[in-house]
Amino acid sequence: MLDKDITYCKNVGSRRADILRKELGVNTAAELLEQYPFKYIDRSRFYFIHEIADEDTFVQIKGEILEFHTMGIGRAQRMSAMFSDGQSQIELVWFKGIQYLKLQTGVPYLLFGKPSRFNRTYNFVHPELTPLDKVTPQMVTGLEPHYNTTERMKNSGINSKAMRTIIAGLMPDVDRGLPETLQADIIQRYHLMNRTEAIHQIHFPNDTPSMQKARERLKFEELFYNQLSILSRASARRRHTEGFIISVVGRHFNYFYKNLLPFELTNAQKRVIKEIHADMKSGKQMNRLLQGDVGSGKTLVALLCALLVIDNGYQACIMAPTEILANQHLATLRQLLQGSDVRVELLTGSTTKKQRAELLPALQRGEINLLIGTHALIEDTVQFGNIGLVIVDEQHRFGVAQRAKLWAKNSRPPHVLVMTATPIPRTLAMTVYGDLQVSVIDELPPGRKPIQTYHYSNLRRKSINEFIIKQVGLGRQIYVVYPLIQENEELDLADLENGYNKLVETFPQFRISMVHGKMRAADKDLQMQRFVSGETQILVATTVIEVGVNVPNASVMIIEDAQRFGLSQLHQLRGRVGRGADQSYCLLLTPPQMSAETRKRMDIMVATNDGFRIAEADLQIRGMGDLEGTAQSGDPVNFKIASLATDGQILQLAREAANSVLDDDPTLSTGYTQVYRDGLARLNPEQKLGYREIS
């Protein structure tokens, strides 16, 4: 019954069907039923006029109209009426459709609407008035569903109320029973409502608890299928792809560990290296996410893993998000490896043709052990002799499609390690990165002092400048960061240059570098280098320094227009300091006037250095967009009802349920799991992968 075309649903017809198809993308009755209400209005309560207290709550009042007034003529015509509940009076106003109103004085009505505030009193604009004897019990019991509609739908008369009528027309079909999409054991184990009841109750709930149970069940179902898809694909890949076996702990690793390692590894570093090694010698291809807050020492872990792979006769590469970072990795690693015969080279967009002509053949002959670079590494022209491990630094949204390109770099796919300092909320770890195994470095190297963070009005230049003078006087270096967003790059660069000029003017005694994305790579490097070497005391920059840059003597981070950064981005930036033994500081500057949201974000930054708490807060405040502070990508999955920001608990249960199904039947091949195969077949690509691919 529910496969039928919406044209043939009650109250639809071909004209409305066209609009519904275009605007909502629904074709069948079943799809119409998945247009869930976005809110409910409690119609079980009756109000008195004097109880109206705000503009946001719908109310219903019993009463009668005392008198009408009509003003103006033609299109400017306007009508008002005085409505009384027997105790007090309120004004009703109409601007449109006055000729259709058939209202009378002295007749009892049920008024329903949302009050508006007008000067210091309330009135109702275009309220719904139903003669009391026409009010059906259904109208005033329980929760009334409200549906999302588009402008075009409204213009064609399909408002929320019309949607309600259309969906109500499907309820007899629903009540005859819908196919169940979850097996009875799961429904029982997780105390879920059955599908038929859930679909009925989400649209026309008996009461609030039933509505909540219905929503819970449908969220569970949606997340369950998402997890089943992700987990079954990951397990299929593990079953089908053999990985290079990295079993030997050999010469390069041991020499480095005994003679070159500059400090004792933290316990967390040791643990994740063990996890990664165990994974790489299992015979299966590794796809692992390494999470560790800024400064937790991921680079060293990357190097040790690369050495393991090199010891087993394979090559390794590290891919960084920017040239600055690739250069820095090269410098750091070459320095760490001094005295070892591991050959490390660099390949970026700035590598000249001539250099490439030398580099690429050597790479193919397997003479280069460790290649460091940017996205240039993915190009097809970059061919390794025998790549065994690809490390992706600070690009945690590196999706399956991108990883798949790396898998093709050898006859068997190399092991892949994605490293990120962006703490990933649990819900994202289970969806967007749901096919990755996860290792966490949950410990910073010893001797770090927590960074002190302050939020200042950007008008307090005098105190800020005094602070700068004092810190530079102590021999410290300072970052000053300006926001840069694609949309108004020009303006932002002007801000940056302005800021730079002001600093130069204010501090003639200091040397100041400036870097931004629009500079030539060579200039950028030069400026960076001057700061890294300590020649300049202040570095004025855009967010190009956000990831990975490591200057231990820099102990002050000043962020201009901090309100324009996302929380995770602020945390990343702050992580550039606090790397040496000195007390570090972060100053967040905003205009004195700010939104409540900005205030909240600044308060969190001041209150905690814990990246996880910040990431969770970010998710709550901003929703799923902009988690990385990069382009607005919106929610990574367009779930119909579930939300990664709020449904972490249900997601956890859904994942557990999906895992138990796969434990019993990894290939979903028994008759029992037919229902799940069917369910997976209905998913769209995004729901299957758990996220949209970025390109």
Handedness of CA 269, 270, 275, 279 (dihedral sign): positive
501/538 Cα distance (integer angstroms): 12
> Which among ligand ADP, Mg ion, none contacts residue 257 (Cβ within 5 to 8 A by kind)?
none
- For residue 565, the minimal CB distance to ligand ADP (Å) is 18
118 binds, among Mg ion, ligand ADP, none (CB under 5 to 8 A by kind): none
615 to 654: interface string for Mg ion, x by CB under 5 A: ----------------------------------------
Q: Which C-beta is closer to ligand ADP: that of 510 or that of 612?
A: 612
Q: Which is nearer to ligand ADP, 275 or 635 (CB)?
A: 275
Q: Name the residue among 391, 377, 406 with its Cα closest to residue 307.
A: 391
Decide whether 329 or 655 has the Cβ nearer to ligand ADP.
329
Least separation in angstroms between residue 292's CB and ligand ADP is: 5
Pick 163 or 318: Cβ nearer Mg ion: 318
Does residue number 373 form part of the binding site for Mg ion (CB under 5 A)? no
The CA distances from residue 70 to 75, 93, 94, 113, 651, in Å, are 13, 10, 9, 21, 56
Least Cβ distance, residue 547 to ligand ADP (angstroms):
9
Phi, psi of 124 (to 5 degrees): -115, 130
Which region among 15-23, 407-415, 488-496, 542-550 touches Mg ion (by CB under 5 A)?
542-550
CA distance 328 to 312: 26
Nearer to ligand ADP, 7 or 550 (CB): 550
Q: Alpha-carbon distance 116 to 55, whole Å?
A: 5
Sign of the C-alpha dihedral computed for residues 256, 259, 260 and 265 taken in this order: positive
Six-digit token pair at 17? 């069907």
DSSP state of 605: H
Rounded-to-integer distance, Cα 384 and Cα 565, Å: 39
Cβ of residue 390: shortest distance to ligand ADP, in angstroms? 17
CA distances in angstroms from 252 to 53, 248, 258, 438, listed in the order given? 74, 11, 10, 26
Question: Which span (55-63, 88-96, 296-304, 586-594) binds Mg ion, by CB under 5 A?
Answer: 296-304
* Partner from ligand ADP, Mg ion, none binding residue 103, C-beta < 5-8 Å depending on class: none
Residue whose token pair is 């993308």:
25
CB-nearer residue toward ligand ADP: 59 or 336: 336
Contact 292/421 with Cβ under 8 angstroms?
Answer: yes
Minimum CB–partner distance for residue 246 and ligand ADP (Å): 21
d(CA 394, CA 414): 19
- Nearest-approach distance from CB 541 to ligand ADP, in angstroms: 17
Q: Closest separation between CB of residue 517 and ligand ADP, Å?
A: 21
The CB-nearest residue to ligand ADP is: 297
What residues contact residue 257 under an 8 Å CB cut-off, 6+ apart? 304
Type of residue found at 185? D
Q: How many CA atoms lie within 13 A of 277 on its CB side?
A: 20
Q: Nearest approach, Cβ of 155 to ligand ADP (angstroms)? A: 53
Look at residue 265 and give the partner it binds from Mg ion, ligand ADP, none, a contact being a CB closer than 5 to 8 Å depending on partner kind.
Answer: ligand ADP
Residue 72: how many CB atoms within 10 A of its CB? Answer: 11
Task: Name which of 187 and 532 has its Cβ closer to ligand ADP.
Answer: 532
Report the nearest approach of ligand ADP to the CB of residue 328 (Å): 9
DSSP H helices, 43-194, are: 151-155, 160-168, 171-175, 184-189
Taking CB within 5 to 8 Å according to partner kind, which of Mg ion, ligand ADP, none is near residue 263? ligand ADP
User: Which lies closer to ligand ADP via its Cβ, residue 158 or residue 440?
Assistant: 440
Helices marked H in 459-610: 461-473, 489-506, 521-532, 567-574, 596-607
Stretch that binds Mg ion, among 5-13, 78-86, 294-302, 376-384 (CB under 5 A): 294-302
Nearest-angstrom CA–CA distance, 10 and 138: 19
Nearest CB to Mg ion, comparing residues 144 and 394: 394
Q: How far is CA 687 from CA 31, 609, 690, in A?
A: 16, 34, 5
Closest separation in Å from C-beta 557 to Mg ion: 16
CA distance 49 to 41: 18
Residue with CB nearest Mg ion? 548
HEC string for 253-279: HHHHHHHHCCCCCCHHHHHHHHHHHHH
| In the complex, least distance from residue 324 CB atom to Mg ion, rounded to whole angstroms | 12
Per rule CB under 5 A, count of chain residues that contact Mg ion: 2
Q: Which stretch binds Mg ion (CB under 5 A): 162-170, 407-415, 426-434, 546-554?
A: 546-554
Find the shortest distance in angstroms from Cβ 298 to ligand ADP: 3
Report d(CA 386, CA 315) in Å as an integer. 6
Which residue, 198 or 392, has its beta carbon nearer to Mg ion?
A: 392
Considering the complex, what minimum distance in angstroms separates the CB of residue 332 from ligand ADP?
Answer: 7
- In whole angstroms, the minimum distance from the beta carbon of 17 to Mg ion comes to 55
Please, which residue, 35 or 584, has the CB nearer to ligand ADP? 584
Long-range contacts of residues 180-185, Cβ cutoff 8 Å, at least 24 apart: 180/675, 181/221, 181/225, 181/675, 181/678, 181/679, 182/220, 182/221, 182/224, 182/675, 183/661, 183/672, 183/675, 183/676
DSSP letters for 445-483: PTTPPPPEEEEEETT-HHHHHHHHHHHHHTT-EEEEE--
Footprint on this chain of ligand ADP (rule: CB under 6 A): 263, 265-266, 269, 292, 294-300, 421, 445, 548, 550, 552, 579
Segment contacting Mg ion by CB under 5 A, of 159-167, 243-251, 547-555, 588-596: 547-555
Q: State the binding partner of 579 from Mg ion, ligand ADP, none, CB within 5 to 8 A by kind.
A: ligand ADP
- Indicate the residue among 295 and 690 with the shorter CB distance to ligand ADP: 295
Question: Residue 85 or 323: which CB sits closer to ligand ADP?
Answer: 323
Question: Closest separation between CB of residue 535 and ligand ADP, Å?
Answer: 19
Report the partner that residue 127 touches, choosing among Mg ion, ligand ADP, none (CB closer than 5 to 8 A by kind).
none
Would you list the DSSP string of 17-56? HHHHHHHH---BHHHHHT---SEEEE-S----GGG---SS
Cβ closest to ligand ADP, residue 210 vs residue 374: 374
Q: Residue 285: exposed, middle, or buried by beta-carbon count in 10 A (0-12, 13-18, 19+)?
A: buried
Which helix (DSSP H) or strand (DSSP E) does residue 291 occupy? Answer: strand 287-292
Helices (H), 149-264: 151-155, 160-168, 171-175, 184-189, 195-203, 208-240, 251-255
Which listed residue (321, 413, 434, 548) binds Mg ion by CB under 5 A?
548
Nearer to ligand ADP, 169 or 445 (CB): 445
Interaction site with Mg ion (CB under 5 A):
298, 548
